[in-house]
Amino acid sequence: MGIQTIGIIGAGQMGSGIAQVAASKGFKVILNDINEEILQGSLKTISKHIQRSVDKNKISAADKDQILERIRTTTSLEEFKEVDFVVEAATEKVQLKLDLFRRLDQICSPDVILATNTSSISITLIATATTRRDKVIGMHFMNPVPVMRLVEVIRGFETSDETYQTVVQLAKELGKVPSEANDYPGFVANRILMPMINEAIYALYEGVATKESIDTIMKLGTNQPMGPLELADLIGLDTCLAIMEVLYEGFSDSKYRPCPLLRKMVTAGYLGRKVGKGFYEY
């Protein structure tokens, strides 16, 4: 039968994007989060994004309706008894993920692969919360999911070849390009990207240049689509801080020390686009 129904935990930016892509490719989706308000907000966001494709005549209004019909929402993890595959895209907190995987291990069928969209936390560690360590793997989508083609596929210490191959094939069916990374803090994308963002925040913190100048110089000087401070706002400053903390703790190297300005902004609630204010106002 293969994978037909995908369970997704977390209806934020990443979870919503993964749900949209999966449903667009014909998979049934069960989207889970802690309350109904978050889930309804996610459905509105997905509908708005799909409508853009309708407006551009890429898909029909009937196609849009069919995509949305494939997405079912729930606040109960018990409904994951029905799924063939899981992608966890909850908040980047170690204990939260361990608790979720412990519950998923009890609820899901023993043959179901449990993937995590974590951007930095050890897959090997997450797998220890389960009795199926060979079926736990990292499936790190990039933001925004419908646009970005890459999926980092990260094996834990005990992830089986069969699990890896299944995830690679699924990523391709979702229209993505899977690329393997080893299980070290930050994997590849964020081990390189986040220190760059952190250094840009240090440059602002130390008065090297204004936020506008930093972003303009990096966009025009290194041909990036957006500046590092704009990108931090898009990702979420709390997420950036969480990833830097994982890198700093994982490598015990001062080059990964989160900038004090980043910490201060997160404490103040300036988390970026999702709250309307970060380095810029939205």
User: Where does the chain have alpha helices with state H?
Assistant: 13-24, 36-55, 61-69, 94-107, 123-127, 161-173, 189-205, 211-222, 228-235, 237-251, 260-268
Q: Please check if 64 is assigned to a binding site.
A: no
Other Cβ atoms within 10 Å of 136 Cβ, number: 30
Q: Known binder of ligand: residue 33?
A: yes
Q: Is 97 within any annotated ligand binding site?
A: yes
Please report, to the nearest 10 degrees, the dihedral formed by the alpha carbons of residues 36, 42, 45, 46 taken in order. Answer: -120
b/e string for 9-43 if b means 16 or more Cβ within 10 A?
Answer: bbbbbbbbbbbbbbbbeebbbbbbbeeeebbeebb
Say which of 16, 32, 42, 190 is annotated catalytic: 190
Phi, psi of 211, rounded to the nearest 5 degrees: -60, -40
Catalytic choice (119, 120, 122, 198): 119
Residue 274, marked binder: yes
One of 32, 42, 117, 152 is an active-site residue; which one? 152
Q: Is 35 a catalytic residue?
A: no
Q: Is 152 a catalytic residue?
A: yes
Choice among 16, 42, 140, 198 that is catalytic: 140
Residue 14 in marked binding region: yes
Task: Report the distance separating Cα 256 and Cα 247, nearest Å.
Answer: 6
Tell me if 11 is assigned to a ligand binding site: yes
Instruction: Enter the tokens of residue 218.
Output: 């990096």
Tell me: is residue 90 an annotated ligand-binding position: no
Q: Is 76 annotated as a binding-site member?
A: no
**How far apart are the C-alpha atoms of 25 and 61, rounded to whole Å?**
16
**Helix extents (H) in 84-160:** 94-107, 123-127
Q: Is 119 annotated as a binding residue?
A: yes
CA atoms of 203 and 259, how far apart (whole Å): 10
Active site residue 190: yes
Contact 51, 9 (CB under 8 A): no
Neighbours of 171 (CB within 10 A): 21
Q: How many helices (H) and strands (E) does the chain have?
A: 11, 8
Q: Which positions are catalytic?
A: 119, 140, 152, 190
Which residues line the annotated binding site? 10-15, 33, 92, 97, 119, 143, 274
Which residues line the annotated binding site for NAD(+)? 10-15, 33, 92, 97, 119, 143, 274
